[in-house]
């Protein structure tokens, strides 16, 4: 099934989110230990690795296998829970790369299964004996005691020597003698064939991994997008991808306490201007207006922020969007997408947005925010400034908050390391030389061959070897995002943009109030005070109230 059937799944070169998208997509091709994903967890979102059965370590998955399977199951399953938007990247591209990685592994597993049937199942006693030795070796290799961990290699060598003796001096005659010889040698022949199959696939996977991180078109090209299970049709896959795309375009976000707005990052700064509404001329009334009228004026002003009187590039054109923010608990493990006549394809309609803006300003319910967002550093930095307008009694309050989502964790930006080791030179033991190692070692060949027949039965395989659980509520981008404050230039970008946004908001609001006969002297004075405070902003945990 060609990926062309699902439309353009790969961002165009130079598009927003290219680097962050490909960094996360590269995880589908990685061959690191699955536990390494825990290093990428941040303060608020934690992955889980189910270790499986201790006696079945031979069936454990690596990072690429566990990640691609977990992402496909979580994002494409028809009965899945809603997904949080991934700002600054394209989640569909990551999913399609996971499908492509699963397809490559499925092809490899088909060949390995055939090898297992011919060289293993037909000679089951020998296969079980060899697997038992490798399982014991894998268990001993995890021991902290170096002497104990080295016993596995000694055991394997001893068993190999015993197999040679058994093959030469067979105690049986006739059919059973020849069958016993086959049981000794057939698994070894199967291992040699399986090693070639595994090395070919490993090279392909690592090439795609490296190409994605380099940004080349080879890595970005998805050669095959296959259904995630044998029972899934192409139409079901297309519907699942379309649903994921619709959720990505939703204008509903979720506030989870100190975690901030999911997908946008924690709130690092907050500035407020609140004054009473008084007529500009004594004896006259204020021309009636609503919160939505103020928001609309601010929207028009923010949409022109890329314009500047100075001949410089300045701020790139932002994305200005009306957001409906729904509150959920800090420990909630799921979000709920709205439905009904006011919602179309996971997006609130314009009239519903206006109603929420004008009415739901106090008490329970969703809240309206006007958001201006920049995706910078190839998707590694997402800056969002949210504006909320409320009118309570005679007080108009305009609040501007800053949100920053940092770069994807460095784990996803690391390329495939060459497999090699340093050894002593033969005639100069005081000097070292580097020796290239095979892409797939003996233990890895055995692991892949043992897993191959079970890869069509996900639940038993996960029960035996373990699996990976994604952080909930799940969104590809925020689950593995670092704080931007450790990167000086990213931190500067986040704090510098606060001042022009705040002043643009105040100018638009004061101009609109003046047109409606509102006295703006107090608003102007308050705006000057707030503008002075934002001159030297400092990031802080604004959602963690020290009460």
Do 347 and 247 form a contact (C-beta atoms < 8 A)?
A: no
Whole-angstrom Cα distance, residue 295 to residue 524?
18
Written as six digits, the tokens of 174 are 């006739």
pLDDT of residue 546: 61
Do 545 and 339 form a contact (C-beta atoms < 8 A)?
A: no
Give the mean model confidence (pLDDT) for residues 50-67. Answer: 87
Q: How far is CA 426 from the centre of its chain?
A: 47
The answer, yes or no, to whether residue 11 has pLDDT greater than 70, is no
Q: In this structure, what is the dihedral angle of CA atoms 208, 212, 216, 219, given to the nearest 10 degrees?
A: 40
Whole-angstrom Cα distance, residue 413 to residue 25?
10
pLDDT of residue 423: 75
The answer to which of 30-44, 161-175, 233-247, 401-415 has the lowest mean pLDDT is 161-175
Length of the chain as a residue count: 547
Give 383-390's long-range contacts (Cβ < 8 A, gap of 24+). Answer: 383/493, 383/494, 383/497, 384/87, 384/261, 384/264, 384/265, 385/497, 385/498, 385/501, 386/261, 386/323, 387/295, 387/298, 387/505, 389/291, 389/294, 389/295, 389/298, 389/357, 389/509, 390/291, 390/361, 390/362
Collapsed DSSP state (helix, strand, coil) of residue 381: strand
Collapsed DSSP state (helix, strand, coil) of residue 423: strand
Whole-angstrom Cα distance, residue 529 to residue 325?
28
Whole-angstrom Cα distance, residue 259 to residue 543?
8
Q: At what angle do helices 124-141 and 146-168 cross, to 10 degrees?
A: 160
The answer, yes or no, to whether residue 224 has pLDDT greater than 50, is no
Tally of CB atoms within 10 A around 501: 24
pLDDT of residue 4: 38
Query: In 360-374, which positions are buried (b, 16+ CB within 10 angstroms) versus exposed (e)?
Result: ebeeeebbbbbbbbb
DSSP string computed for 189-229: HHHHHHHHHHHHHHHHHHHHHHHHHHT-HHHH-------SS
The answer, yes or no, to whether residue 3 has pLDDT greater than 50, is no
Whole-angstrom Cα distance, residue 19 to residue 27?
13
The answer, yes or no, to whether residue 152 has pLDDT greater than 60, is no
**Residue 327, phi then psi, degrees to nearest 5:** -80, 140
Of 319 and 141, the one with more pLDDT: 319
pLDDT of residue 217: 54
pLDDT in tens, 297-316: 999 999 988 887 777 777 88
Confidence label for 291 from pLDDT (cuts 50, 70 and 90): very high
Confidence label for 356 from pLDDT (cuts 50, 70 and 90): very high
Do 23 and 480 form a contact (C-beta atoms < 8 A)?
A: no
Q: What percent of the chain has pLDDT over 90?
A: 33
Residue (of 523, 250, 544, 261) closest to 402 by Cα position = 261
The answer, yes or no, to whether residue 547 has pLDDT greater than 90, is no
Whole-angstrom Cα distance, residue 167 to residue 180?
8
pLDDT of residue 101: 92
Written as six digits, the tokens of 211 are 């190409």
Tally of CB atoms within 10 A around 322: 20
Give the mean model confidence (pLDDT) for residues 28-50. Answer: 88
pLDDT in tens, 122-134: 666 766 776 676 6
Question: Is residue 473 reached through a cis peptide bond, with omega within 30 degrees of 0 on the bond before it?
Answer: yes
Give the mean model confidence (pLDDT) for residues 326-347. Answer: 88
Task: For tokens 């306490």, name the residue.
Answer: 257
DSSP string computed for 519-537: --HHHHHHHHHHHHHTTS-
pLDDT of residue 110: 93
The answer, yes or no, to whether residue 48 has pLDDT greater than 80, is yes
Give the mean model confidence (pLDDT) for residues 446-466. Answer: 88
pLDDT of residue 362: 84
- Which stretch, 54-58, 219-223, 358-362, has highest mean pLDDT? 358-362
Give the mean model confidence (pLDDT) for residues 245-271. Answer: 90
Q: What percent of the chain has pLDDT over 70?
A: 80
């Amino acid at each position: 099934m060609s990926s062309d059937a699902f439309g353009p799944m790969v961002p165009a070169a130079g598009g927003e989110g290219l680097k962050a998208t490909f960094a996360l997509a590269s995880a589908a091709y990685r061959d690191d230990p699955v536990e390494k994903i825990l290093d990428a967890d941040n303060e608020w979102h934690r992955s889980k690795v189910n270790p499986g059965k201790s006696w079945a370590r031979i069936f454990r998955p690596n990072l690429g296998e566990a990640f691609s399977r977990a992402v496909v199951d979580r994002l494409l399953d028809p009965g899945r829970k809603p997904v949080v938007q991934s700002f600054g990247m394209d989640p569909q591209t990551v999913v399609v790369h996971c499908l492509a990685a699963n397809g490559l592994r499925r092809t490899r597993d088909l060949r390995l299964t055939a090898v297992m049937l011919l060289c293993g199942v037909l000679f089951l006693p020998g296969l079980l004996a060899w697997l038992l030795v490798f399982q014991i070796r894998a268990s001993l290799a995890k021991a902290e005691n170096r002497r104990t961990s080295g016993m596995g290699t000694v055991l394997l060598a001893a068993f190999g020597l015993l197999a040679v003796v058994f093959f030469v001096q067979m105690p049986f005659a006739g059919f059973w003698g020849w069958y016993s010889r086959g049981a000794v040698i057939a698994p070894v022949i199967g291992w040699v064939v399986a090693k070639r199959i595994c090395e070919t696939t490993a090279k392909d996977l690592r090439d795609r991994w490296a190409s994605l991180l380099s940004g080349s078109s080879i890595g970005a090209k998805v050669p095959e997008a296959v259904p995630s299970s044998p029972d899934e049709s192409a139409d079901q896959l297309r519907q699942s991808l379309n649903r994921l795309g619709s959720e990505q375009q939703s204008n509903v976000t979720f506030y989870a306490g100190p975690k901030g707005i999911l997908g946008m990052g924690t709130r690092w700064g907050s500035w407020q201007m609140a004054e009473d509404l008084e007529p500009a001329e004594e004896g006259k009334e204020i021309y009636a207006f609503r919160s939505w009228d103020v928001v609309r004026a601010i929207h028009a002003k923010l949409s022109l922020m890329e314009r500047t009187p100075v001949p410089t590039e300045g701020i790139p054109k932002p994305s200005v969007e009306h957001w409906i923010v729904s509150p959920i608990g800090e420990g909630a493990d799921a979000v709920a997408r709205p439905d009904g006549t006011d919602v179309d394809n996971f997006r609130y309609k314009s009239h519903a947005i206006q109603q929420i803006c004008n009415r739901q300003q106090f008490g329970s319910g969703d809240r309206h925010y006007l958001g201006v967002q920049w995706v910078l550093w190839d998707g590694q930095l997402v800056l969002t400034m949210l504006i909320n307008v409320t009118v309570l009694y005679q007080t108009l309050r305009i609040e501007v908050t800053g949100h920053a989502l940092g770069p994807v964790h460095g784990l996803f930006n690391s390329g495939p390391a060459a497999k090699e080791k340093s050894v002593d030179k033969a005639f100069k033991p005081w000097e070292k030389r580097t020796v290239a190692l095979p892409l797939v070692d003996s233990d890895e060949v055995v692991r892949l061959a043992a897993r191959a027949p079970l890869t069509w039965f996900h639940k038993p395989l996960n029960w035996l070897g373990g699996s990976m659980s994604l952080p909930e509520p799940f969104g590809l981008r925020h689950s593995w995002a670092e704080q931007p404050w450790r990167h000086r230039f990213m931190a500067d970008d986040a704090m510098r943009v606060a001042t022009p946004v705040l002043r643009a908001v105040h100018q638009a609001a004061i101009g609109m109030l003046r047109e409606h006969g509102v006295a703006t002297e107090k608003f102007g004075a308050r705006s000057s005070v707030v503008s002075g405070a934002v001159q030297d902003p400092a990031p802080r945990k604004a959602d963690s109230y020290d009460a």
